[in-house]
Structure 1
Amino acid sequence: MNILVALDSFKGCISSAEANAAAKKGIEKVNPQAEVHTFTVSDGGEGWTAAFHDAIGGTIRTINAHDALMRPIKASYLVAGDTVVIEVAATVGLALLKDTELRPTLATSYGVGEMLVDARIQGCKRFIIGLGGTATSDCGIGMLKALVHKLHVFRPQVQQIDDVLPFFKYCSFTLGSDVINTLCGKLGMAAVFAPQKGATEKEVELLDRRAAQFAAFSARHFGYDKSNEPGAGAAGGLGYAFLQYFHAEMKPGADLLFRALDFEDQVKKADLVITGEGASDRQTLMGKLPSRILAIAKKYNVPVALLAGRVSDEEVLRRGGFQLIHSINPPELSTEECLKPETAKKNLESTVSDIL
């Protein structure tokens, strides 16, 4: 039996690689002869760098940078030839802050700019940026400021963002994200995502107003406006900054990774695909990573099992095409216990053994 395992991270709990390892143990406990292939996966957020490292190799480079509250941290990105893979959550990730530290109107994307400058100095020209999981809603303004500040050290003539752009003239930027929201409005980055980052109703209005003002300024400056492009609202508006200032190309994050992994060719050989995420509901079918995997498996009539820490809308998910749908956590287990990494791994392993 050929089984393909590609579980997304269970956010705040276990990584994609850890989830895959637990599932593999569950398979081998029941069927030691099974041929098991595991793939570290990400749609642009947590685990993006690790997933590409597994896919294309390269070297992990670690630098001094700053988190969303401008506190010093170590941040890593992947270098493979002249290609750099950057996970913005490595510096400004929501997971790096405690709930009591969330400051949506103050959080800055400065750390992302620090990674960009360092990578460019290393000679990188092809940037693959994973957008997702940020604590920021600053439209990338912090990132742009960091580009000016950091390049000024090497080139004193750099005084403003226009002086920075030639430094990246021969570079390409590909963005990976599962978000299609625009920058402003009812479906914009503030209205949809800022509440998850601790924003009050008034702060959402403020952030949306700031975004509109910044977009208007940028449109006047460049003579074009990317704020209504799908994905401009990704990662607290970082999507917009890359689209507007660097003519970036937006792609579904999972699809970018799957091409690097030659994932479809592996799926067609499988007898079963096991995927999953921290919480699954009807939104899973709206472009989230498990639904991307499902779409590929459907082409070759390969059954897909969906595992999650919490499952809602099971009938909707079943109609969407998932043959097996399971929560890995017993209903009597407390949320606190469910989120313990060792508990999650144990429950994932036993769930996989049970469904096989």
Structure 2
Amino acid sequence: MKIIVAIDSFKGCLSSAEANAAAQSGVLAACPDAEVVDIPVSDGGEGWLDAYRIAVGGEMVSVRVCDPLMRQTDCCYLRKDDLAVIETARAIGLTLLKAEERNPLTATSYGVGQLVADAIRRGCRRFVIGLGGSGTSDAGKGMLQALSDAFGREDLYCVSALKDLQFTLATDVTNPLCGPQGAAHVFGPQKGATPEMVVELDRRAAAFAEQSAKHCGHDCSLAAGAGAAGGLGYAFMQYLRAGCRSGIDLLLDAVGFDKQVEGANLVVTGEGRADGQTLMGKLPHGIMLRASRYHVPTLLIAGKVTDRQMLLDAGFAYVESINPPTLSLEEAMEKAVAAQNIRKLMERFFRLRS
């Protein structure tokens, strides 16, 4: 029996690698002879760098950069040959800010530009940028300013160091930069924006897009993904000619998922909460769609499950909650408890089918 384990992080609780390890332990407890293929995964946000390092190898490069409040912090990116892989959340993540510090009117993406500049100086020419979990909503102006500061020119189109670079954005966000479905309105509140701040952030983004369109001769503000990471996606598209791809598809290609899934009996994936939104481009859905190409069934596990029938109708073969219904949220969020519950569920699931 061959089992693929590729579970997303349970945010605030377990990393992808930790969730996978717990699931693998449960599978082997029930089926000691099973072949379990462990694939840490991420869709571009938390865990992106670690998942990509496991997939392709390379070296971690440490850099001193600015966090969203321009405080110095240690950060890193992955380098392999001329490829740099960047997880933007490591430099400008919402988790770097205390609740009372969250203010997207002042938070900046400057640190991401510092990571890109360092990688360029080290000879990197291809970039994979994981967009997700940012604490900023500055339309990428901070990132562009950092590049301008690094290379001494205000007009990035005239900087020779930025010519012939290839940027790929890993994101499953399809929102435009501005408007009711834009970065500020959809993602601003979770970053600490009040209704008044949302209006101001959207106004700033629209003004920047108008100015940039006149300067560059084209406008990427309506492109799918422009609103990712508080508009950072827009800045990469508009000024650095970046293209967007589904984060999970990028990673699955990097790990050779199509080859791994050949001959598998089951794929196990999961996330902290599974519901109808899982089907809106989230990681487990992408994994299930890829596995279904090879007619391999997918088990979806989660800390909390709603809309079970909708998930089953969409193609998941099994949908299971890891937690007993009487377990409190506080206890369920404890790392040791969550890992144990994943292990128990997997052992029970496979014993019933062995």
TM-score band (shorter)? Answer: over 0.9
Residue in structure 2 matching 1:322, options 316, 326, 334: 316
TM-score, with structure 1 as normaliser: 0.95
CA contact 1:108–1:136 (8 Å) conserved in 2: yes
* Residues 243-264 of structure 1: per-residue CA shift (max 9 Å, x gap): 0000111111111111111101
CA contact 2:148–2:156 (8 Å) conserved in 1: no
Aligned to 2:255: 261
What is the alpha-carbon distance in structure 1 between the residues aligned to residue 47 and residue 340 of structure 2?
A: 21
Q: 1:166: how far off?
A: 2.2
Instruction: Indicate whether 1:176 and 2:165 are aligned.
Output: no
Distance 1:161 1:13, change over 3 A: farther
Instruction: Indicate whether 1:99 and 2:99 are aligned.
Output: yes
Q: 1:163: how far off?
A: 6.9
Q: 1:332: how far off?
A: 2.2
Aligned to 2:305: 311
Give the residue type in structure 1 aligned to 2:303.
G
Q: 1:14: how far off?
A: 1.3
Instruction: Indicate whether 1:301 and 2:295 are aligned.
Output: yes
Aligned to 1:209: 203
CA contact 1:148–1:164 (8 Å) conserved in 2: no
**Percent identity of the aligned residues?**
51
Q: 1:231: how far off?
A: 0.4
* Residues 5-60 of structure 1: per-residue CA shift (max 9 Å, x gap): 00011112211111111111111111111100010111111111111111111001
Aligned to 1:23: 23
CA contact 2:156–2:162 (8 Å) conserved in 1: no
Aligned to 1:138: 138
Q: 1:164: how far off?
A: 6.5
* Residues 302-352 of structure 1: per-residue CA shift (max 9 Å, x gap): 111101112121111111111211121222222222222222211111111
Distance 1:222 1:41, change over 3 A: same
Residue in structure 2 matching 1:200, options 194, 202, 206: 194
Residue in structure 2 matching 1:220, options 196, 201, 214: 214
Distance 1:164 1:96, change over 3 A: farther
What is the alpha-carbon distance in structure 2 between the residues aligned to residue 13 and residue 100 of structure 1?
A: 22
What is the alpha-carbon distance in structure 2 between the residues aligned to residue 331 and residue 206 of structure 1?
A: 43
CA contact 2:275–2:306 (8 Å) conserved in 1: yes
What is the alpha-carbon distance in structure 1 between the residues aligned to residue 112 and residue 267 of structure 2?
A: 35
Residue in structure 1 matching 2:285, options 288, 291, 296: 291
What is the alpha-carbon distance in structure 2 between the residues aligned to residue 72 and residue 329 of structure 1?
A: 40
Q: Residue 7 of structure 1 aligns to a residue in which SS? A: coil
Aligned to 1:6: 6
Q: 1:161: how far off?
A: 3.6
What is the alpha-carbon distance in structure 1 between the residues aligned to residue 299 and residue 307 of structure 2?
A: 15
What is the alpha-carbon distance in structure 2 between the residues aligned to residue 180 and residue 163 of structure 1?
A: 26
Aligned to 1:82: 82
What is the alpha-carbon distance in structure 1 between the residues aligned to residue 339 and residue 310 of structure 2?
A: 27
Aligned to 1:275: 269
Structure 1 vs Structure 2 CA RMSD: 1.3
Instruction: Indicate whether 1:118 and 2:118 are aligned.
Output: yes
* Residues 202-230 of structure 1: per-residue CA shift (max 9 Å, x gap): 11111111110110010011111000000
CA contact 1:231–1:239 (8 Å) conserved in 2: yes
Q: Residue 227 of structure 1 aligns to a residue in which SS? A: coil
Would you identify which runs of 4 or more consecutive aligned residues in structure 1 move more than 4 Å? none
User: For structure 2, which runs of at least 5 residues remain unmatched after alignment?
Assistant: none
Distance 1:347 1:164, change over 3 A: farther
What is the alpha-carbon distance in structure 2 between the residues aligned to residue 165 and residue 312 of structure 1?
A: 51
Q: 1:162: how far off?
A: 3.0
Q: Residue 69 of structure 1 aligns to a residue in which SS? A: coil
Aligned to 1:37: 37
CA contact 1:12–1:95 (8 Å) conserved in 2: no
Give the residue type in structure 1 aligned to 2:171.
S
Aligned to 1:72: 72
Give the residue type in structure 1 aligned to 2:90.
A
Aligned to 1:162: 156
What is the alpha-carbon distance in structure 2 between the residues aligned to residue 93 and residue 220 of structure 1?
A: 31
What is the alpha-carbon distance in structure 2 between the residues aligned to residue 42 and residue 165 of structure 1?
A: 33
Distance 1:36 1:335, change over 3 A: same
Q: Residue 188 of structure 2 aligns to a residue in which SS? A: helix
Q: Residue 85 of structure 1 aligns to a residue in which SS? A: strand
Distance 1:98 1:343, change over 3 A: farther
Q: Residue 218 of structure 2 aligns to a residue in which SS? A: coil
What is the alpha-carbon distance in structure 2 between the residues aligned to residue 285 and residue 18 of structure 1?
A: 24
Give the residue type in structure 2 aligned to 1:115.
L
Q: Residue 342 of structure 1 aligns to a residue in which SS? A: helix
What is the alpha-carbon distance in structure 2 between the residues aligned to residue 344 and residue 79 of structure 1?
A: 33
CA contact 2:157–2:239 (8 Å) conserved in 1: no
